[in-house]
Amino acid sequence: MKARKHAQRFLDELRVLNDAALGRLPAVGEVREAACREAVNRLLAYSLIPEQGQDPQIRKLATQIVDRGVKSVDNMFSEMFSELQDNIEKTAAARIEGLDLGSRRPFIGHLRTGQLNAVSMSVPGRSGAYLVLIEDQMPLFSSKLSKALAWAIPEGPADANGMRNFKFSLPAVTERVEADPEIAARFAEIVVSYAVMGTVNQVGDHLVPPGYSNLAGLLCTSLDYFVLGHEYAHILLGHLETGATRRGVLPAAEAEALVCSWQEELAADWLGSVLSINANIEHEHVDMDFGFLAISLFFDALDVMDRAVALLQTGDENARQLGSHPPSELRKQRLRDFLPALGGSKPANAGRVETALLLAEVQAEIIRMLWERTRPILLDLRRSGVPAAHTWRTIPKETDDGARPN
């Protein structure tokens, strides 16, 4: 509990510093006090006449309302990932003898990181606490993107139980995307909004039939499992203690966020995939093929947002990327190579591995087709002077050999 409080306090500090860097709040004072004070002032200024805003009782009531709101958002986000976190830990404990995270159990928080991922870090001081920060728009982005992707997959005939199957074949999905322009429009709306506004809050909630909703939910939850499993892997592999650190990933002078070497990042991908796929199997009853499909979707989505933001910033989709990480295609290929070992030697598992690779290939083609239809929209926006959201933090694009272009 003490470690959790240290982590929450540090997260509060990061939020005020982050908001100050984005021009939203002054970087002074104790964090939650500063955040609440600013919110209370806005609430009173816009909701009441000046005389009422000076009333001590009204100000006290407004402060209580705002403070409950700040805490409820944190609690809601923490609760969103709590079950996934428990399941990841159960899966890890079943495979790592003597594992006892104890105080090393990370606190899961959200922050506008400007990167489409999560960031692991040690909490400064002697608490021994860890913090996993997830880009605050990422859960909503992955949910909406999963729906857009699912909508591109045509339904097949029902099985003996009346359940609908989906046609994961290149000819079928190509025909569907070309026949229904609404699919590409949905995808483009999500990507363009995120790239330009830094948020997908304004994107409408696209309703899909029950079968598609189940598929989208499965993909979204499985993607969250991998993101969380990847960050747990950094902790379990000792990267936060021994890895190189660099200031500046977050706008807080004392925040030393881990910048993994490629070896460490790829190792975290490997262990994260083991944890997420097995947690999905054991606790969600989701087979390996769809667990791997969601992992591939994460890398496809990361690649798309790298390209979208780079286009708006430079006009060259290959010029920059969000944060420091190996190329998405390299990371996917390493996991494709590893998948047979994860599946084991049973003949039935060999079939699942083959299916998983096929599904991932079809999904990548869907994303490619939808991106080709989104690129012209972003180029038109750039020509019109529309920039990428200032919240994005990019660096020169990493290449396959680890070099960066000039």
How far, in Å, CA of 357 to CA of 355, rounded? 5
Q: Is it the case that residue 83 has pLDDT exceeding 80? A: yes
Q: Is it the case that residue 185 has pLDDT exceeding 90? A: yes
pLDDT score of 106? 87
Local confidence band at 255 (pLDDT 50, 70, 90 cut-offs): very low
Whether the predicted model's global pTM rises above the 0.85 cut: no
Instruction: Give the Cα-Cα-Cα angle 373, 363, 118 (nearest 5 degrees).
Output: 90
Which residues are CB-contacts of 238 (< 8 A; sequence separation ≥ 6)? none
DSSP assignment of 116-153, as one string? Answer: SSEEEEEPSSSS--EEEEEETTHHHHHHHHHHHHHHTS
Phi, psi values for residue 138, rounded to 5°? -65, -45
How far, in Å, CA of 401 to CA of 327, rounded? 10
pLDDT tens digits for range 45-75? 555 555 555 667 666 666 655 555 445 555 6
Local confidence band at 30 (pLDDT 50, 70, 90 cut-offs): very low
Q: Is it the case that residue 246 has pLDDT exceeding 50? A: no
How far, in Å, CA of 196 to CA of 198, rounded? 6
pLDDT score of 47? 52
User: Which of 19-23, 85-89, 122-126, 332-336 is least confident?
Assistant: 19-23
Q: Which amino acid would we find at residue 79?
A: E
Local confidence band at 179 (pLDDT 50, 70, 90 cut-offs): very high
**Residue 185: CB atoms within 10 Å:** 16
pLDDT score of 204? 82
pLDDT score of 387? 96
Question: In Å, how far from its chain's centre is CA 178?
Answer: 29
- Of the candidates 91, 135, 138, 131, the one whose C-alpha atom is nearest the C-alpha of residue 112 is 135
Integer-rounded Cα Rg, in Å, for the chain is: 22
- Tell me the mean pLDDT in the region 310-336: 92
Q: Is it the case that residue 212 has pLDDT exceeding 50? A: yes
Q: Is it the case that residue 244 has pLDDT exceeding 50? A: no
Mean of the per-residue pLDDT values of the chain: 81
Q: Hey, CA dihedral for 135, 391, 402, 142, is it positive or negative?
A: positive
Q: Which two tokens stand for residue 83?
A: 């079950």
pLDDT score of 314? 96
User: Which of 5-9, 172-176, 182-186 is least confident?
Assistant: 5-9
Local confidence band at 15 (pLDDT 50, 70, 90 cut-offs): confident
From residue 70, how far is each of 3, 10, 11, 57, 61 by CA, in Å? 20, 15, 13, 20, 14
**Residue 145: CB atoms within 10 Å:** 28
pLDDT score of 319? 94
140 vs 127, higher pLDDT: 140
Are residues 114 and 136 in contact, defined by beta-carbon separation less than 8 angstroms? no
- Tell me the mean pLDDT in the region 71-85: 71
382 vs 49, higher pLDDT: 382
- Tell me the mean pLDDT in the region 264-284: 94
Q: Which of 67-81, 160-174, 325-339 is the most confident on average? A: 325-339
How far, in Å, CA of 187 to CA of 373, rounded? 9
Half-sphere exposure of 82 (CA within 13 A, CB side): 7
pLDDT score of 49? 55
Q: Which residues pair with 158 in a beta bridge?
A: 164
DSSP structural state of residue 260:
-
pLDDT score of 27? 39
Are residues 290 and 359 in contact, defined by beta-carbon separation less than 8 angstroms? yes
Strand pairing report for 107-111 and 130-135: parallel
Q: Is 217 exposed, middle or buried, given 0-12, 13-18 or 19+ CB atoms closer than 10 A?
A: middle
pLDDT score of 249? 46
- Tell me the mean pLDDT in the region 125-152: 87
Q: Is it the case that residue 210 has pLDDT exceeding 80? A: no
Q: Is it the case that residue 214 has pLDDT exceeding 80? A: yes
Are residues 68 and 60 in contact, defined by beta-carbon separation less than 8 angstroms? no
Question: In Å, how far from its chain's centre is CA 68?
Answer: 26
Are residues 320 and 313 in contact, defined by beta-carbon separation less than 8 angstroms? yes
Residue in the structure block whose two tokens are 């002697």: 126
Are residues 390 and 195 in contact, defined by beta-carbon separation less than 8 angstroms? no
Are residues 235 and 264 in contact, defined by beta-carbon separation less than 8 angstroms? no
